[in-house]
Structure 1
Amino acid sequence: MPYVNVRITREGATAGQKAEIIAGVTDLLVRVLDKSPSTTFVVIDEVELEDWGIGGLPAADYRRRQPGS
């Protein structure tokens, strides 16, 4: 009974995009680990951008420092 928790920043992912993530993760576990889709749980948590950090920086600051931003 796999449980997968996906965390993304809250930046407007649509219900359709979330459904695609759920289907894709479920399919991956079916193909790779031969798990049953009926007992595979996928939960998507959305996190405010200011609550997300990368490389010791708030995500917004990190993005601003990336080339091409």
Structure 2
Amino acid sequence: MGTQLIWQKSSYSGGGDGNACVELAAATPANLHLRESEQPDTRLTTTPLAVARLLHHIRSGGDA
């Protein structure tokens, strides 16, 4: 049996229980899972460094 993941909703997803949310869960200290709430069984596994770089790029207004 695997460890229960604790999902955190993005603060930019808005309030309420809607399904327009990006969620993140720490699987291990070296791995994070990302999912979109409308399709919770589809997950992207990545590293904390990759997420930090993505957030920095978004916050700095970088091009896509």
Structure of larger gyration radius: 1
Question: Which structure ranks higher in relative contact order (CA pairs < 8 Å, sequence separation ≥ 6)?
Answer: 1
- Compute the TM-score of the two structures, normalised by the length of structure 1: 0.28
**Greater helix percent: which structure?**
1
- Compute the TM-score of the two structures, normalised by the length of structure 2: 0.29
